[in-house]
Amino acid sequence: MKGDGVPVHNVEIAQTLNKLADLLEIEGANAFRVRAYRNAARLVESLPRSVADMVAANEDISELPGIGEALARKLKEIVETGHLAALEQEEKHVPAALSDLMKIPGLGPRRVHELFEKLKITDLASLEHAVREGKLRTLDGFGEKTETRILEYLNRKTQTGNRMLLVTAEQVVESLLKTLRGVKGVKRVVPAGSFRRRQETVGDVDILATCADSAAIMRRFVGYEDVAEVIAHGATRSSVILRSGLHVDLRVVPEECYGAALHYFTGSKAHNIAIRARALQAGLKINEYGVFHGEARVGGATEPEVYAAVQLPYIEPELREDRGEIEAAEKGQLPKLVVLADIRGDLQSHSTATDGQAGIAEMAKAARKRGYEYLAITDHSQRMTMVHGLNATRLAQQIREIDRLNEKLSGFRILKSIEVDILENGELDLADEILKELDVVVGAVHSLFTLSREKQTARIIRAMDNPCFHIFAHPSGRLIGERDAYEVDLERLLHAAKERGCFLELNAHPMRLDLNDAYCRMARELGVKIAISTDSHNPLSLDFMCFGVGQARRGWLEKGDVLNTRPWSALQKLLKRDG
Ligand code: DGT
Ligand code: CA
Ligand code: CA
Ligand code: ZN
């Protein structure tokens, strides 16, 4: 624990490690060292448990995949002191805020170094200033295109800057929820708002509680160790900002209002307005305190009661966006949404053969532990030279390795697969001869993000023309808050997939969640099945499946719409494109 009793969150540890990696890289340090820090950061981010808890429980951190003795000591140092001496050392040579520049598409460590050396740029503000003054283009290799990209990035950052990834918010509020649940007299502590609707990013987190002693829970809330600033401290409503910058509201309501309040604060606002209008038509009034007929309260203790008052069945939070859910509810046509327990396997994961952090057997064991029946190993193909992508020879070796591993397994199957690059002309990065040997072929775009919409779409459809092709991975290429989708006509891709018997992926990584909810829904309407895949690079990220399922639910997907809810035998039939 840090000196002042504040728990260090995994996100903060990951930020520290990434920052160190950035600064080292800008300085031109050894690439292996940089990569070790980045891998550690990625691992910590994806841990289902807090490193602080592990340290407190005296667990051996160096048992984690990819974490050696030296890194384990650094993790402990961050947890125990809140600082990392190695980072502070580095900050003496390189301005810390240069690490923010590394996120800008097109700016690598070398170019950031050059900006620092030649233009004395030390942070985003001085970068923006230099761009606007036209100074950047005075440097070799920096042109108008770079300037545009930088301005676009800065613009996007001001738009999404105040929103936090759902996964990060979840990690940050987890211990807060636990703390509040421990207050004497507390009955319920439930996050509402966009968090409950499983939106990919949240503006703030709205917590609802019922408690015999509301002053006590409020006191605990504003006094919580992670609070950086108290915005409001009232009897039934308080508001704080946590150290991570996350804004959290807490409201305490009487038990008999709980359902109405939960409904109100879950939103969305548009859904609420539509439900209220419906109530008015029925001569009722719905607000955060209950359902009323004149002065008389006629319901509101539970959410189903609120819906029943307006003659509707319960509507799941992920659907509450006023995108047709009320009409569907009225007609008894609400989808029966897919749940995590429906998932029978994961169709994208990486091993140490390319950029993964664990071997195939270890990945399979972890998948099995999650109750799965299969896991596809989809390492990168040869074109991805920086991660040592597989050529035909190495893929053939991996196929034999998987055959050997499968012989020893019963009730579980490692699927032979690849995340094959789609080349510029739409050809696949490996010959059909070897692709035919695989159980499932996942194809992806990792290059030429700047092609025109027309060309990008045609390129991907050409890839789907190949009868070996099955699933198109992370279809838009976006990284939430960091990289926009490339230009592509997803609707046309869905039609093309339908015609060819192919599938699209919903990448469950919480920074991708790609396809988004709207296109998931379009896929369902067109009858294109979706694979929800974690794209795991280590065993622990297999747990990201829940974020994919959350997004799928926002996209109205049912169990049958999701490819990997099927047992292998049924899935195998769907993957036979010609039969
Ligand atoms: P966020 O925080 O931007 O990610 O999105 P939300 O949906 O969590 O929005 P937030 O935190 O402003 O408000 C939480 C919920 O409270 C929202 O989903 C619906 C409800 N709400 C807020 N303002 C209004 C309003 O003016 N009218 C109605 N009917 N409901 C509101
Ligand atoms: Ca909110
Ligand atoms: Ca709020
Ligand atoms: Zn990929």
Dump pLDDT digits (tens) for 246-264.
999 999 999 999 999 999 9
Confidence band, pLDDT 50/70/90 cuts, at residue 1: very low
**How far, in Å, from the CA of 215 to the mean position of ligand 2?**
23
Q: Give the β-pairing of 247-252 and 186-191.
A: unpaired
pLDDT exceeds 90 at position 283: yes
Nearest ligand to the CA atom of 320: 1
Q: How far does the chain reach from its first CA to its final CA, in angstroms?
A: 59
Phi and psi, residue 530, nearest 5°:
-115, 135
Dump pLDDT digits (tens) for 377-435.
999 999 999 889 999 999 999 999 999 999 999 999 999 999 999 999 999 999 999 99
Q: Is 206 in the pocket of ligand 1 (CB under 6 A)?
A: yes
Which atom of ligand 1 has the smallest separation from the CA of 201?
Answer: 4
DSSP E strands: which ranges in 90-184? Answer: 164-165
**How far, in Å, from the CA of 204 to the mean position of ligand 3?**
5
Q: What is the dihedral of CA 570, 574, 576, 579, to 10 degrees?
A: 90
Cα distance between residue 204 and residue 511, in whole Å = 18
User: What pLDDT, on a 0 to 100 scale, did the predictor assign at position 563?
Assistant: 98
Q: Is 551 in the pocket of ligand 1 (CB under 6 A)?
A: no
Atom 1 in ligand 1: which residue has the minimum CA distance? Answer: 203
237-242, strands of its sheet edge to edge: 186-191, 205-211, 247-252, 237-242, 227-233
User: What pLDDT, on a 0 to 100 scale, did the predictor assign at position 10?
Assistant: 85
**How far, in Å, from the CA of 474 to the mean position of ligand 4?**
7
Cα distance between residue 282 and residue 90, in whole Å = 66
User: What pLDDT, on a 0 to 100 scale, did the predictor assign at position 4?
Assistant: 47
Q: Which of 208, 268, 269, 276 to mutate to test the pocket of ligand 1 (most atoms within 8 A of CB)?
A: 269
User: What pLDDT, on a 0 to 100 scale, did the predictor assign at position 160?
Assistant: 62
Which residues are CB-contacts of 495 (< 8 A; sequence separation ≥ 6)?
526
Q: Is 272 in the pocket of ligand 1 (CB under 6 A)?
A: yes
Atom 30 in ligand 1: which residue has the minimum CA distance? Answer: 269
Q: Is 202 in the pocket of ligand 1 (CB under 6 A)?
A: yes
Cα distance between residue 51 and residue 78, in whole Å = 10
Q: Is 120 in the pocket of ligand 1 (CB under 6 A)?
A: no
Q: What average pLDDT does the chain have?
A: 93
Which residues are CB-contacts of 69 (< 8 A; sequence separation ≥ 6)?
62
DSSP E strands: which ranges in 135-192? Answer: 164-165, 186-191
Q: Do domains 10-160 and 340-575 have the same CATH topology?
A: no
User: What pLDDT, on a 0 to 100 scale, did the predictor assign at position 306?
Assistant: 97
User: What pLDDT, on a 0 to 100 scale, did the predictor assign at position 244?
Assistant: 81
Hey, where are the domains in the chain? 10-160, 164-252, 257-330, 340-575
| Structure token digits, residue 163 | 């929103």
- Percent of the chain exceeding pLDDT 90 equals 80
pTM of the shown model: 0.85
Most confident of 35-39, 386-390, 466-470: 466-470
Atom 5 in ligand 1: which residue has the minimum CA distance? Answer: 194
**How far, in Å, from the CA of 160 to the mean position of ligand 1?**
17
Q: Which of 164, 198, 206, 322 to mutate to test the pocket of ligand 1 (most atoms within 8 A of CB)?
A: 206
**How far, in Å, from the CA of 524 to the mean position of ligand 3?**
32
Q: Which of 190, 194, 197 to mutate to test the pocket of ligand 1 (most atoms within 8 A of CB)?
A: 194
Confidence band, pLDDT 50/70/90 cuts, at residue 3: very low
Mean pLDDT to the nearest integer, 492-510: 97
Confidence band, pLDDT 50/70/90 cuts, at residue 117: very high
Q: Is 204 in the pocket of ligand 1 (CB under 6 A)?
A: yes
User: What pLDDT, on a 0 to 100 scale, did the predictor assign at position 5?
Assistant: 53
* Alpha-carbon 456 to chain mean position: 25
Q: Domain 257-330: which topology?
A: Beta Polymerase; domain 3 (3.30.210)
Q: Is 291 in the pocket of ligand 1 (CB under 6 A)?
A: no
**What Cα–Cα distance (Å) separates residue 399 from each residue in 299, 396, 422?**
61, 5, 21
- Among candidates 216, 222, 290, which has minimal Cα distance to 258? 290
Q: Is 249 in the pocket of ligand 1 (CB under 6 A)?
A: no
User: What pLDDT, on a 0 to 100 scale, did the predictor assign at position 579?
Assistant: 45
Phi and psi, residue 210, nearest 5°:
-120, 140
Cα distance between residue 19 and residue 31, in whole Å = 15
Q: Domain 164-252: which topology?
A: Beta Polymerase; domain 2 (3.30.460)
Mean pLDDT to the nearest integer, 83-105: 91
User: What pLDDT, on a 0 to 100 scale, did the predictor assign at position 559?
Assistant: 98
**How far, in Å, from the CA of 204 to the mean position of ligand 1?**
10
Dump pLDDT digits (tens) for 533-554.
999 999 989 999 999 999 999 9
Q: Is 565 in the pocket of ligand 1 (CB under 6 A)?
A: no
**How far, in Å, from the CA of 171 to the mean position of ligand 1?**
22
**How far, in Å, from the CA of 170 to the mean position of ligand 2?**
13
User: What pLDDT, on a 0 to 100 scale, did the predictor assign at position 6?
Assistant: 58
Q: Is 203 in the pocket of ligand 1 (CB under 6 A)?
A: yes
**How far, in Å, from the CA of 442 to the mean position of ligand 4?**
9
**What Cα–Cα distance (Å) separates residue 77 from each residue in 33, 80, 353?**
18, 5, 31
Identify the burial level of 58 via C-beta atoms within 10 angstroms of its C-beta, where 0-12 means exposed, 13-18 middle and 19 or more buried: exposed
- Among candidates 475, 573, 578, which has minimal Cα distance to 530? 475
User: What pLDDT, on a 0 to 100 scale, did the predictor assign at position 99?
Assistant: 93
CATH homologous superfamily of 10-160 equals DNA polymerase beta, N-terminal domain-like (1.10.150.110)
Dump pLDDT digits (tens) for 476-491.
999 998 888 999 999 9
Which atom of ligand 1 has the smallest separation from the CA of 273?
Answer: 29
Dump pLDDT digits (tens) for 144-175.
888 888 888 887 776 666 789 999 899 889 98
Dump pLDDT digits (tens) for 220-236.
999 998 898 999 999 99
Phi and psi, residue 130, nearest 5°:
-65, -40
Nearest ligand to the CA atom of 265: 1
CATH homologous superfamily of 340-575 equals Metal-dependent hydrolases (3.20.20.140)
**How far, in Å, from the CA of 116 to the mean position of ligand 1?**
43
**How far, in Å, from the CA of 421 to the mean position of ligand 4?**
8
**How far, in Å, from the CA of 380 to the mean position of ligand 4?**
8
Q: Is 268 in the pocket of ligand 1 (CB under 6 A)?
A: yes
Q: Is 269 in the pocket of ligand 1 (CB under 6 A)?
A: yes
Q: Is 194 in the pocket of ligand 1 (CB under 6 A)?
A: yes
The answer to whether the CB of 428 falls within 8 A of the CB of 435 is yes
**How far, in Å, from the CA of 446 to the mean position of ligand 4?**
7
pLDDT exceeds 80 at position 327: yes
Confidence band, pLDDT 50/70/90 cuts, at residue 12: confident
User: What pLDDT, on a 0 to 100 scale, did the predictor assign at position 578?
Assistant: 64
